[in-house]
Amino acid sequence: MAEVKKLNVPEKITDDKLIDLYKQMWQIRFFDEKVDEFFAKGMIHGTTHLAVGQEASAAGVCALLDVEDKITSTHRGHGHCIAKGATADRMMAELFGRTTGYCKGKGGSMHIADVDMGNLGANGIVAGGIPLAVGSALTAQMKKKDYVTVCFFGDGASNEGSFHEAVNLASIWKLPVIFVCENNQYGMSGPVTEMVNVENIATRSEAYGIPGVVADGNDIVEMMNVTDEAVQRARNGEGPTLIEAKTYRWKGHSKSDAKKYRTREEEKEWRQKDPIKRFKEVLVEAGLLTEEKAEEIRLEVKKEIEDAVKFAEESPMPTADDLLTDVYA
């Protein structure tokens, strides 16, 4: 292997952690691609929203979080769950509606939660997780806990009233929360340029007196560095940060979206910015990874996802007796 070069990453990110993050990005990608396959075959019911192409934002942000730190996720949240420590087998079981899933098969794709790892839950309501994240941060402040809360949301959610109310409250009270807008250029079938009359959503931070940072959402190293600064700020009692991660979803908005509203040329251009390929090139150039080892990791993860599918398929379905358990009025 070539001589190892020190990468410009936060101090807590070790060389081993960088390799783990490369593996994690493949876990996110292969999980979503497998889910896409099963929905097309009618083997998983309901709907799903995939984040293929957005792996760097989930992995890069959560790399700076401790187990005690919290996240709230979105309807496009499989990557957030994996990045915060969820295992592919229990996630796949959840989508298959099996009792071994994180929510015993009752949450499905859009409502996976893993409180033990700090994942307060994905949310099918656009911007639904934003006020929940602020509530979590308020709890930390009032109980003098050291954890921070990260709130993932999409560009479309930045136009919801709950976004503005929550960010304003977090700013006033200097709450330890980080708002991460994954701007994948489209809210359903509408381009963000038709929905927001500013170049950068991060600019909206100025109205609330907090830092706003625009980052390359396909560059995991940049995502780690901007998150590190935001986490330190939150832990020091200096309040929230709004991070806008510019990225792109390769798939449609949901399983039924044929993506007729965008050109193949645009898709090709963004695929050339593949965050996994870019990170691999960084690791190889730094001497931390060889092409052979990278391929070994890719194949290892592919088998891991196949094993997760097998686990899900062999897990039991809920019975009629389970219908009213874990249901709250």
- Whether 228 has a pLDDT exceeding 80, the answer reads yes
pTM of the model: 0.96
The Cα 33–Cα 53 span in angstroms is: 11
Q: What is the mean pLDDT of residues 121-150?
A: 97
The Cα 112–Cα 49 span in angstroms is: 13
- Whether 1 has a pLDDT exceeding 60, the answer reads no
Exposure string for 6-19, b = 16+ CB within 10 A, e = fewer: eeebbeebebeebb
Q: Output the DSSP codes for 234-296.
A: HHTT---EEEEEE---SS-SSTT---TTS-HHHHHHHHTT-HHHHHHHHHHHTTS--HHHHHH
Q: Which pLDDT band holds residue 203 (cuts at 50, 70, 90)?
A: very high
What residue segments make up the domains of the chain, in order of their start?
15-315
Percent of the chain with pLDDT over 90: 90
Is the CB of residue 58 less than 8 Å from the CB of residue 83?
yes
Given CATH 3.40.190.10, say whether it is the number of domain 15-315. Answer: no
Is the CB of residue 58 less than 8 Å from the CB of residue 115?
no
- Whether 2 has a pLDDT exceeding 90, the answer reads no
Q: Which pLDDT band holds residue 256 (cuts at 50, 70, 90)?
A: confident
For 39, the token pair is 């929905």
Element containing residue 174 per DSSP (H, E): none
CA angle 307–311–312, rounded 5-degree value = 120
Residue 43: its pLDDT value, please? 87
Q: What is the mean pLDDT of the chain?
A: 95
CA 281 to chain centre: 22
For 64, the token pair is 């700076």
